[in-house]
Amino acid sequence: MGAYRALAQHAYFEFQKGDVAAAAQLARSLERLWDKAEDYGGDTALKKTHPDLFEEIDKAMDDFVLPLEQYKTKAPEASKVKAAFNAYLEKLKLAD
């Protein structure tokens, strides 16, 4: 879960600096990395070994990523992004 955590932290850091475009790009990378790892993880993929936990983490990731990705049409609210970021990190801890 370390790579996902690192990308999320970097995306959040860029968001805090005010570079929402960079945060959005990192968020997209985070989502793609997660999807690829789960699609090609075989029998060890979290989706197969712990499907309920996978769904919890996937939902938490979406809650964090989507507002950043949609920044061009709607400015993300800082408090909501912070809450979603923290919730995502907490869900990741469950899979460590």
For 3-17, what is each residue's pLDDT tens digit?
999 999 999 999 999
Work out how many domains the chain is built from and give that number: 1
What are 9-18's contacts with CB under 8 Å, separation 24+? Answer: 11/64, 11/68, 12/81, 12/82, 12/85, 15/68, 15/76, 15/78, 15/81
Domain interval for residue 51: 2-93
What tens digit of pLDDT does each residue of 76-86 get? 999 999 999 99
Residue-level pLDDT at 39: 85
Residue-level pLDDT at 43: 87
Closest-CA residue to 8 (of 25, 30, 33, 34): 30
Residue-level pLDDT at 41: 85
pTM attached to this predicted model: 0.93
What tens digit of pLDDT does each residue of 31-65 get? 999 999 988 888 889 999 999 999 999 999 999 99
